[in-house]
Chain A
Amino acid sequence: MNETETALWWARVRAAGPQRVTSGDAFPAGMLRLVEPDVTAVWLLPAVPEGAGPGVTEELGLPLLAVEQPNDTARVLAACLRCCWVEPTGPMWPGAPASRDAVASVFTKITNRDEIASHRAMIAAIRRLAAAGWVLWDEPGQTVRLGPRVAAWGSADSSALRELWRLLPPATGAPSSDTGRS
């Protein structure tokens, strides 16, 4: 792939989010290749050098685009992480699918809200997260998986998230061996 094609791929992902391509395709320089569990497809995710990520923008005190309902969106992402990152000593991607009810049970435990309000907020947040590639939402099947963007978290982020995982309650009905494993 030449420089023009590489630049075009980076721009495509900027415009439309992480892209799913067939695993045999040539892939653009500087991107992470995240192989789907069935190995027939890969997600392309741009990886910028350390010091060029969105976190730097925040350190500089510059404004970022505001997320709608930031608190609920973050809590739902945390609940998805708790359910889909089955083995937190290992990598997050690809993780395992989790049912909407499993995610809802974690979200309800951490928000302590009535079920109807909680459900509405959760679905809205899942849709927002899915639109941005943080989760993959199978609406007909009502299951959630972690999205390709989670692979952009560096090792420091992953350790912090591993701690968060341990603090969060497990999904109702999840095997108890799931909790507190280190």
Chain B
Amino acid sequence: MSDTNRAHPVFEPILAEVSEQHRDELLAAFAAVENSSHPVPEVQLLALRDATLRRNLQRLLHRVGRTLVAVGGTHWTSGYRDDVAAELTVSGWNALPVIDRAVLVLVLIHSVAIPRSQGVLGGDSWTSAQPTPADELLRYAQIQKGDVRAALQRLRARGLVQPAPTRGRGAGNGPAYLPGPQLHRLTPPARRALQEELILAAAPDSPLAAAIRARRAHPRGEQ
């Protein structure tokens, strides 16, 4: 039903500049980074390996509100452009219900924030191999446990959390969760904003929180 043979008004201005073969490479890379649940190895696609083609891919993504995100030096995925994400948030286009956000934050605190503050986890990624036991999520919940479970199910369907592998956690342990692969889609400024929000929430009186507030009040020198 979709008429895909006509020149596409959003893609064509970029595609018209490249050869037929490179056009296919660009479209395949677009499909890969936009739809794959995990970051894509650059060895697999020419448009991710080649700097010129990658710039064109970035221009394609830009036209639909997206941007390329590098993961670990050899992989790529896509995420929302920072200006677009800010606009979507301000105008209430956040698709996650409040309870899902709360449960996701708990997983991020247990699996990323705490291990990072202990020096166990380096870098600025929001993915981690440190499991958050489901008991931990249910124990202090001020809402119905059934609601927490339903939220976990929705977060799993969106790839925002994933079940932790049972291997190595010993028998008798209940289920546990890890941050999901979709968190790779956060751009560096989005990763930093998430970190700052957690600091502001967890330790509002700390010198670090004061520094964040000061920088936000006077954003000179940023970008």
Contacts and interface: CB of A to CB of B under 8 A. Distances in A.
Contacts of A62: 32, 35-36, 38, 40, 44
B159 A65 contact: yes
Nearest to A12: B93
B97 to A, nearest CB: 12
B31 A15 contact: no
Nearest to A92: B1
A99 to B, nearest CB: 25
Contact of B37 (A10, A53, A60, A65): A65
A56 B65 contact: no
Size category of the B interface is 35 or more
B2 A154 contact: yes
B131 to A, nearest CB: 19
Most buried by A among B3, B5, B156, B157: B157
B135 interface: no
Nearest to B62: A7
Given A11-B80, A51-B24, A158 B9 contact: no
A51 B27 contact: yes
Contacts of A57: 31-32, 35-36
B64 A51 contact: no
Contact of B36 (A46, A53, A64): A64
B4 interface: yes
B93 to A, nearest CB: 5
Given A30-B8, A65-B37, A12 B63 contact: no
Contacts of B114: none
B93 A63 contact: no
6 contacts: A30-B8, A48-B4, A49-B27, A54-B35, A62-B35, A67-B157
